[in-house]
């Protein structure tokens, strides 16, 4: 399991908070769309009702993910009694990651299919050579300063066609997480468990949830897709029970997606699709609790978190099936702002600022069995600037990030 997680959920920082913007090369070529259109076997991660559209098919993808992220501390150190930050611009190390994924789907009969899929959710990773909390917060902070969160999902997917128009899908999911934090020693006086706050190496947690999906095609032009992945209740990170709220609890939030696809009768080679997605970050205290004021210690039920809000994502994408060999895709997506400005300080550890993404992609059918798909996505640079009123009100922190992502995938049908 350790080796699988290292392969499938490399330490990256994903694009919609810490959720990936789509799974597999077909979806990535449409800025993450795929709940109402089939994008190959990896598309089962987005809607488990798509299995019977595939037949017997397996797929593999490799993502090259290049995030450029960091922060800039403005102003001068605050006078006592306020703690202060070391001014200057910091850029995180580790700016290229390779993230594989895989899936296989098998037709059971004319109405049902069974599949298995493994994919990384994205995660968080930062590593700064300078610890900005030293010496203003105290003398004990080590370097590097940062966090690393990796997540792996493994799902078994069952799809059933109720009739020619309606399909349902269900996929029980096993989730595995690995986390570590470094450089936070100077927050020990704010922690309910100082020995379980930072620099304790990797910690692991496991949990389970379920992914549900529906596809309804009332006619040949219109398809409506919906999917809901439940909150995944995870074991606590015991080594970091003095960092995360609720004594190390770090569940994976639920996500709901609704989409529609339209294929004009006059142009059956073109499909346009639109989606709305909500990620329920506010349900997870470790992610959602405010850090603008520290009213309870780190690790307490109401201890500080990252201040993340629920995120809404909208996508618009298109597919052009040029001929029997070539298919072209493109899309854009927009995500709402993940934090308020006064939550910026602790989010130097997770500067998930991008909101706009644009993607292009193509597929080429090599022969009756083999196909290849590639996609490129750019997450446009965005920043959030804010000051924490309790800890360092005279030193606003500017978070920033942009990303480039290239995905290549192979499919095999039999």
Supply the CATH number for residue 220's domain. 2.40.160.60
Give the least confident one: 227-241, 281-295, 368-382. 281-295
Range among 5-14, 238-247, 388-397 with highest mean pLDDT value:
238-247
- Distance between CA 111 and CA 89 in Å, rounded? 57
Contact indicator for 184, 227 with CB cutoff of 8 Å: no
Query: At residue 256, does pLDDT exceed 80?
Result: yes
User: What pLDDT sits at residue 127?
Assistant: 95
Mean pLDDT of 321-341: 96
Percent of the chain with pLDDT over 70: 94
Domain coverage including residue 339: 2-413
pLDDT greater at residue 389 or residue 384: 384
Q: Is 81 exposed, middle or buried (0-12, 13-18, 19+ CB in 10 A)?
A: exposed
Mean pLDDT of 177-193: 95
Question: Per 3-state DSSP, what percentage of the chain is helix, strand, and coil (rounded to 5)?
Answer: 15, 45, 40
Cis amide bond preceding 135, omega within 30: yes
User: What pLDDT sits at residue 81?
Assistant: 67
Query: At residue 119, does pLDDT exceed 70?
Result: yes
Contact indicator for 169, 206 with CB cutoff of 8 Å: no
Query: At residue 12, does pLDDT exceed 70?
Result: no
Query: At residue 108, does pLDDT exceed 80?
Result: yes
User: What pLDDT sits at residue 6?
Assistant: 45
Contact indicator for 144, 175 with CB cutoff of 8 Å: no
Of residues 177, 13, 29, 5, the one with CA closest to residue 95 = 13
Query: At residue 163, does pLDDT exceed 90?
Result: yes
pLDDT greater at residue 26 or residue 123: 26
Q: Is the dihedral of CA 100, 400, 353, 178 positive or negative?
A: positive
Give the least confident one: 38-42, 132-136, 222-226, 385-389. 385-389
Query: At residue 3, does pLDDT exceed 90?
Result: no
pLDDT in tens, 56-102: 999 999 999 999 999 999 888 877 667 888 899 999 998 888 889 99
Mean pLDDT of 15-44: 94
Query: At residue 4, does pLDDT exceed 50?
Result: no
What band does 356 get if pLDDT is binned at 50, 70 and 90?
Answer: very high
What band does 7 get if pLDDT is binned at 50, 70 and 90?
Answer: very low
Distances (CA, A) of 387 to 242, 292, 349, 401: 24, 9, 15, 18
pLDDT in tens, 281-291: 999 999 999 98
Distances (CA, A) of 49 to 38, 161, 164: 10, 8, 13
pLDDT greater at residue 105 or residue 120: 105
- Distance between CA 117 and CA 105 in Å, rounded? 9
pLDDT in tens, 284-318: 999 999 988 888 999 999 999 999 999 999 999 99
Contact indicator for 247, 241 with CB cutoff of 8 Å: yes
The tally of domains found in the chain comes to: 1
Query: At residue 109, does pLDDT exceed 50?
Result: yes
Structure tokens at 160: 């059933």
Mean pLDDT of 234-250: 97
Cis amide bond preceding 81, omega within 30: yes
For 108-144, the DSSP string reads: -SSSEEEEEEEEE-B-EE--BSS-TTTTTT-S---SS
Mean pLDDT of 138-151: 91
Question: H-helix or E-strand containing 313?
Answer: strand 311-321
Give the least confident one: 92-96, 250-254, 255-259, 386-390. 386-390
User: What pLDDT sits at residue 306?
Assistant: 94
Please state the separation of Cα 280 from the chain's center in Å: 12
What band does 278 get if pLDDT is binned at 50, 70 and 90?
Answer: very high
User: What pLDDT sits at residue 15?
Assistant: 80
């Amino acid at each position: 399991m350790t080796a699988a997680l290292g392969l499938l959920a490399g330490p990256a920082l994903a694009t919609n908070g810490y959720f990936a913007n789509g799974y597999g090369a077909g979806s990535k070529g449409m800025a993450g769309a795929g709940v109402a259109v089939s994008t190959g076997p990896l598309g089962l991660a987005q809607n488990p009702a798509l299995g019977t559209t595939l037949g017997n098919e397996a797929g593999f993808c490799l993502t090259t993910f290049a995030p450029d992220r960091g922060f800039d501390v403005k102003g001068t150190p605050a006078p006592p009694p306020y703690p202060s930050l070391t001014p200057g611009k910091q850029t995180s190390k580790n700016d290229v990651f390779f993230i594989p994924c895989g899936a296989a789907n098998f037709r059971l009969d004319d109405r049902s299919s069974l599949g298995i899929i493994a994919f990384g959710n994205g995660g968080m990773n930062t590593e700064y050579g300078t610890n900005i909390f030293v010496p203003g917060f105290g003398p004990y902070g080590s370097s590097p300063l940062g966090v690393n969160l990796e997540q792996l999902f493994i799902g078994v997917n069952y799809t059933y066609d109720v009739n020619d128009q309606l399909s349902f899908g269900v996929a029980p999911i096993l989730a595995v997480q690995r986390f570590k934090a470094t450089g936070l020693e100077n927050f020990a006086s704010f922690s309910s468990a100082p020995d379980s706050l930072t620099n304790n190496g990797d910690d692991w947690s496991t949990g389970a949830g379920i992914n549900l999906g529906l596809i309804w095609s009332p006619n040949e032009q219109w398809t409506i897709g919906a999917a809901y992945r439940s909150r995944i209740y995870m074991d606590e990170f015991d080594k970091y029970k003095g960092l995360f709220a609720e004594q190390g609890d770090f569940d994976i939030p639920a996500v709901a997606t609704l989409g529609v696809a339209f294929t004009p009768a006059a142009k059956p080679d073109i499909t346009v699709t639109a989606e709305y997605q909500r990620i329920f970050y506010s349900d997870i205290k470790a992610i959602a609790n405010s850090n603008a004021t520290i009213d309870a210690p780190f690790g307490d039920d109401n201890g500080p978190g990252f201040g993340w809000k629920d995120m809404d994502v909208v996508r618009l994408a298109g597919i052009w099936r040029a001929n029997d060999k070539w298919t072209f895709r493109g899309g854009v997506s927009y995500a709402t702002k993940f934090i308020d400005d006064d939550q910026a300080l602790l989010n130097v550890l997770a500067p998930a600022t991008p909101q706009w993404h644009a993607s292009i992609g193509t597929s080429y059918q090599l022969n009756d069995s083999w196909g290849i798909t590639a996609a490129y996505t750019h997450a446009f640079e965005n920043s959030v600037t804010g000051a924490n009123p309790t800890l360092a009100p005279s030193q606003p922190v500017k978070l920033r990030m942009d990303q480039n992502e290239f995905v290549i995938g192979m499919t095999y049908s039999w």
